[in-house]
C-alpha cells in the first residue's frame, strides 16, 4: 500500500535561528490535497555517557518551552546541515560534561514529534570516559550529576525522566550493555 505524501508547494511562514516553520501542500495517497504545517530543524545529537563504574552522566537543565527543570543526557544541535553526527556528539559531550570517550557507539535516530517536526536526533552511547574542562555555551546553564544506569532505567520507567530522547537513549544503552533484553 502506498502511504507516501508528495509535496506540491511549500511556503516559509517563519524563519528562525533554530526552527523554520513551513506550510506545505501535499498530495495524499488517494490523490486528494492536504495542508501540513511543519517545523524544519537542522538536526541534533544526544549522548548517554557511561562511566567505567556503570554510572550515566545526566544533566538538570531548565527548559523554557515547558517551564520546568528536566533531567536529560548531554545533547545539542548540529552546527551545519552536513556536520558529522559523531563529531557533533563528541563536541556536545565535551562542552557540557568535560567527558571524552574512548568509544562512541551509534544507537540510531530519534524523532520526537514527527507529525509536525522534522528534527532528527542521532543517539550515541559513550564509553571509556576521561575528563577535561567543561566548556558550556554562553547561554547554557546546567548541573551535571551521576546516576547508576540501572537507576536511570528505573527513573525512566517510573516516569520521572520526562525527556523523550533521554528515555529512548537510556533504554537502548541499557539493552546494548545487556542490562535489558528486547524480548
Whose cell is 508547494? That residue is 9
**Cβ neighbours of residue 88 closer than 8 Å, sequence gap 6 or more:** 44, 45, 76, 78, 79
Set 5, 83, 92, 138: catalytic member = 138
Strand 143-148: give its sheet, edge to edge.
Answer: 68-72, 55-63, 143-148
Which grid coordinates are listed for 104? 562512541
Rg from Cα positions in the chain: 18
CB 177 within 8 A of CB 63: no
Q: Which of these, 148, 119, 142, lies nearest to 52 by C-alpha position? A: 148
**Cβ neighbours of residue 138 closer than 8 Å, sequence gap 6 or more:** none
**For residue 59, how far is the Cα from the chain centroid?**
13
**For residue 42, how far is the Cα from the chain centroid?**
12
Active site residue 138: yes
Which grid coordinates are listed for 29? 495517497
CB 24 within 8 A of CB 36: yes
Give catalytic residue positions. Answer: 138
Amino acid at each position: 500500500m502506498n502511504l507516501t505524501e508528495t509535496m506540491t508547494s511549500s511556503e516559509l511562514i517563519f524563519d528562525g535561528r533554530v526552527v523554520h516553520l513551513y506550510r506545505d501542500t501535499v498530495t495524499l495517497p488517494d490523490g486528494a490535497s492536504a495542508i501540513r504545517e511543519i517545523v524544519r530543524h537542522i538536526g541534533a545529537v544526544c549522548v548517554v555517557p557511561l562511566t567505567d563504574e556503570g554510572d550515566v552522566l545526566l544533566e538538570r537543565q531548565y527548559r523554557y518551552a515547558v517551564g520546568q527543570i528536566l533531567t536529560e543526557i548531554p545533547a545539542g544541535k548540529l552546527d551545519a546541515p552536513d556536520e558529522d553526527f559523531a563529531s557533533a556528539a563528541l563536541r556536545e559531550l565535551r562542552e557540557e560534561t568535560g567527558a571524552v570517550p574512548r568509544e562512541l557507539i551509534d544507537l540510531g535516530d530519534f524523532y520526537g514529534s514527527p507529525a509536525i517536526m522534522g528534527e532528527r536526533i542521532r543517539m550515541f552511547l559513550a564509553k571509556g570516559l576521561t575528563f577535561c574542562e567543561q566548556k558550556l555555551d554562553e547561554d547554557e546553564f546546567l548541573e551535571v550529576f551521576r546516576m547508576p544506569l540501572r537507576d536511570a532505567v528505573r527513573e525512566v520507567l517510573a516516569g520521572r525522566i520526562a525527556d523523550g530522547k533521554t528515555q529512548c537513549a537510556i533504554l537502548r544503552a541499557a539493552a546494548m550493555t545487556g542490562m535489558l533484553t528486547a524480548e
